Structure 1
Amino acid sequence: MSVTEAFARVLSRSGGSSRAPTLDTSHNIVLYLEDISVSFDGFKALNSLNLYIEAGELRCIIGPNGAGKTTMMDVITGKTRPDEGSAWFGQTIDLLRLTEPEIAKAGIGRKFQKPTVFGSHTVFENLELAMAGDKSVWKILFARLRAEQIARIEEVLETIGLKDHRQVLAGGLSHGQKQWLEIGMLLMQDPELLLVDEPVAGMTPQETEHTAELLVGLAGKRSVVVVEHDMEFVRSIARTVTVLHQGSVLAEGSMQEVQNDPKVVEVYLGD
């Protein structure tokens, strides 16, 4: 991938250089989804979904295939428009009035299951390309990094555990390391809410353990929503777990509470 192509992808992720709206979490809620319904050819992917995420919390979302997890994230990030309901980022930002780039600029980052890093660029360059701020092509290609920008990249390298891999081409990283790098690229944009889709799929046990430490470490500094099928991983990081079923919230609480809920056992956890 050329630098120009990489720039174009980063520009689409970051939402450009326009000023982001101010996030108000004075009520300690960063995300409100209320009565959200989405239908596809008669199939109701979301059915009057209500979900509230507190500022700084780590929330795990689980549920069987078709429960509405991906559609929920698509609504939050502007990829899908609901038929009914409201979606607010803090007290004042109406997500349903914003485009996908505007939502990213407002402070919502999403990591998909398959990592999308720039394989022909180093780990350091990937983080540099993802840096929040002026995304004009001249800035990306020719401007020298300021001391505070270098310090920010170093901070993120430390956070994601790739400090010793800064000059390694991203294409040569392991699957888990690519996942961490993509999380780091999102962190460079300083999101208030981070959506992470099945982060440990295909990882080794050691990579899974590091990913758990990484996500737990991010909580408190920002809000993190993790969608995951690996129940052992969820148990290792969960504070509050939300179970989706047929597009609605079936149960919510600690992992132990939802695990012992007869309705959850019936539709999802089984034995």
Structure 2
Amino acid sequence: MPEAIDTRHGVILYLEDVSVSFSGYKALNGLSLAVDRGELRCLIGPNGAGKTTLMDVITGKTKPDKGSVYLGQDINLLDSDEATIARLGIGRKFQKPSVFPQQTVRENLALAVRGNRSPWDALRYRQSSEDADRIASLLLTVALDAVAHKLAGGLSHGQKQWLEIGMLLAQEPSLLLIDEPVAGMTQHETERTSELLQSLVPERSVVVVEHDMAFVRSIARKVTVLHEGTVLIEGSIDEVQSDPSVREVYLGEAC
């Protein structure tokens, strides 16, 4: 049995002894992981290490064969479906940005803010001054205030990524799961994304899956390395990069 995770001191998410199999292949193999409130965690590992399956388990897309998955100390995520988990405050951003291309940047954010309401309330929705202020604040947070009037389809790749992060923030999540945010970005966009993600904590927790080690170094407080469906090592970026087992299974491939 893996060592028990101490959840008494501000842990927002923990998984214990989680296993997932697909046709006999163990995508996750007794994985245990804890993320603190207000933490920015980077999750790395070679292809097939279990990163996507881990995200799928947290968000309810995949149910594990065994194990425990909790939000805070008392919310069992395995009892909830994807929609319920999103309402509980877990937001997920996939690698490819998903925005409404024929709507302006501001309208995309307005739709996300409106999404907090029940279907009946949404039908009767009229933007309040409070919502207008919220949208203005989100535009500043994701550095898109200067292009608020532009159609989202005309944004650069990096701007679309920031817009989607803004749309997730409109839902006021306590935990954000972000998959390869800088893939395909220019150097300037990558630097801006680093600043954005760091600005999101400690008001919320952020877990970033990324292969770009220079980017990981720019944002990482703590790094978790996955290998063959379990945690290989956790620590600072320097500790991770200097570990011989990590260099063998992952960093040696990327460097």
* TM-score normalised over the length of structure 2: 0.94
Match of 1:134 in 2: 117
Unpaired runs of 5+ residues, structure 1, are 1-24
2:218 aligned counterpart, secondary structure:
helix
What is the CA–CA distance in structure 1 between the aligned matches of 2:190 and 2:45, rounded to whole Å?
Answer: 20
Q: Deviations over 1:213-254 (max 9, x none)?
A: 000010101000000000000000000000000000001000
What is the CA–CA distance in structure 1 between the aligned matches of 2:164 and 2:41, rounded to whole Å?
Answer: 20
- Match status 1:186 vs 2:168: yes
Match of 1:237 in 2: 219
Q: Give matches, 1:16-31, under 5 Å.
A: 27-31=9-13
2:33 aligned counterpart, secondary structure:
strand
What is the CA–CA distance in structure 1 between the aligned matches of 2:8 and 2:106, rounded to whole Å?
Answer: 35
Matched-pair contact (CA < 8 Å) for 1:130–1:189: yes
1:130 aligned counterpart, secondary structure:
helix
2:246 aligned counterpart, secondary structure:
helix
What is the letter of the counterpart of residue 101 of structure 2? G
What is the CA–CA distance in structure 2 between the aligned matches of 1:269 and 1:26, rounded to whole Å?
Answer: 33
What is the CA–CA distance in structure 2 between the aligned matches of 1:214 and 1:44, rounded to whole Å?
Answer: 35
Match of 2:79 in 1: 97
Q: Identity percentage over the alignment?
A: 65
1:220 aligned counterpart, secondary structure:
coil
Unpaired runs of 5+ residues, structure 2, are 1-6
Offset of residue 141 of structure 1: 5.4
- Match status 1:48 vs 2:30: yes
What is the CA–CA distance in structure 1 between the aligned matches of 2:156 and 2:118, rounded to whole Å?
Answer: 29
What is the letter of the counterpart of residue 85 of structure 2? I
What is the CA–CA distance in structure 2 between the aligned matches of 1:29 and 1:155, rounded to whole Å?
Answer: 28
Q: Deviations over 1:71-115 (max 9, x none)?
A: 000000000000010000001110000000000000000000000
What is the letter of the counterpart of residue 13 of structure 2? L
What is the CA–CA distance in structure 2 between the aligned matches of 1:222 and 1:95, rounded to whole Å?
Answer: 18
2:29 aligned counterpart, secondary structure:
strand
What is the CA–CA distance in structure 2 between the aligned matches of 1:130 and 1:202, rounded to whole Å?
Answer: 25
Match of 2:157 in 1: 175
What is the CA–CA distance in structure 1 between the aligned matches of 2:74 and 2:103, rounded to whole Å?
Answer: 38
Match of 1:35 in 2: 17
Q: Deviations over 1:187-209 (max 9, x none)?
A: 00000000000000000000000
Matched-pair contact (CA < 8 Å) for 1:129–1:140: no
Moved over 6 A (4+): none
Q: Give matches, 1:1-271, under 5 Å.
A: 27-131=9-113, 132-136=115-119, 139-140=121-122, 143-270=125-252
* TM-score normalised over the length of structure 1: 0.89
Number of aligned residue pairs: give it: 246
